[in-house]
Amino acid sequence: MAATAAEPQPAKLPLPGGTKGATVELHPLTCARMHCAPGFLDRPSGRLAPLKTLVSRTSEDDLVEIPVVAFLVRHPSAGDLLVDTGLHPSVAVEPKNALGRWGGLLFKDIRMATEDSVPAQLRALGVEPGTVRTVVMTHLHADHAGAISEFPAATFVVDAREWAAAADGSDRDGYVRRQFDHGFDWRLVDFDGPTGDSFASFGRSVDLFGDGSVRLVSTPGHSAGHQSVVLRLRDREALLCGDAAYTHDAIENGTVPYIVEDEHRYKRSLREIQLYLEQTPDTLVVPGHELAAMRLLDRVY
């Protein structure tokens, strides 16, 4: 693994602050929108599929608008937690370098107002970014990790394999080092370690606060160490898929997106999500990049 300025440590779980029987409050946040070719969400078939997606002469009318999302999770005793950070606030003024050179080929017309950034939305909710205690990173791709620098006081929780992939990766792999390589409190999750367990249909899981309110479930495939998040709300559970499933169509029909680090593991993770939703049909399921789904969500759960 390449050397980094950050010095991540193994996560000692559960993190402090858990309370028996706790439920959490969920605030979905859309911090930007951008356009992509349809093949980004459902890649063309054949050996030249990646090339077809990149060079397709998709007209502007055929481009798909997708959201960049993050989530505020309010725990009654462990404090405020973020799932992903969205894009950096500066993207509202200068979007050109938001996703690195490679990301600029895939995504067009990034739309983000100053008030859309995650820090700005938190302040609108009465939450100062400096008081956020924990940030769970589903993975470290640029559209999820852009605003990491805005939360220097937080503990960042990421899969150990994801950190290794990002440290060795480049923007061709979806990673922009300047976004995540900060000397913050990074904690690496080992799903195969002593605190790892299975949960429902997910073969590998950890209980973040030890009270069942926030569970991280290993869903690799989109990236080497992707993780999704299961929350216990007051009246049901919520599954934040991250990029393990871009859309409801991916969950229902098994579509494979353009960016997949390991297709076999992606499909296995997607099957675990499908089985989980079959077992708990009342779950609030939030895919990673579906604008219509985000627009239908309430402001708070």
Entry pTM = 0.95
Looking at residue 98, its pLDDT comes to 76
The Cα–Cα gap between 9 and 5 comes to: 13
| Bond preceding residue 14 cis, omega within 30 of 0 | yes
Domain ranges (residues) in the chain: 9-296
* Token digits of residue 22: 């706790």
Which residues neighbour 51 within 8 Å (Cβ) at sequence distance 6 or greater?
none
pLDDT tens digit at each of 301 positions of the chain: 888 989 999 999 999 999 999 999 999 999 999 998 888 898 877 666 555 555 555 556 688 999 999 999 999 999 999 999 999 999 999 887 777 776 666 677 899 999 999 999 999 999 999 999 999 999 999 999 999 999 999 999 999 999 999 999 998 899 999 999 999 999 999 999 999 999 999 999 999 999 999 999 999 999 999 999 999 999 999 999 999 999 999 999 999 998 899 999 999 999 999 999 999 999 999 999 999 999 999 999 9
Which residues neighbour 52 within 8 Å (Cβ) at sequence distance 6 or greater?
39, 44, 46
Class in CATH terms, 9-296: alpha beta
Looking at residue 53, its pLDDT comes to 57
Looking at residue 168, its pLDDT comes to 97
The Cα–Cα gap between 198 and 200 comes to: 7
Looking at residue 95, its pLDDT comes to 84
Taking alpha carbons only, the member of 28, 34, 131 closest to residue 80 is: 131
Phi, psi at residue 188, to the nearest 5°?
-100, 125
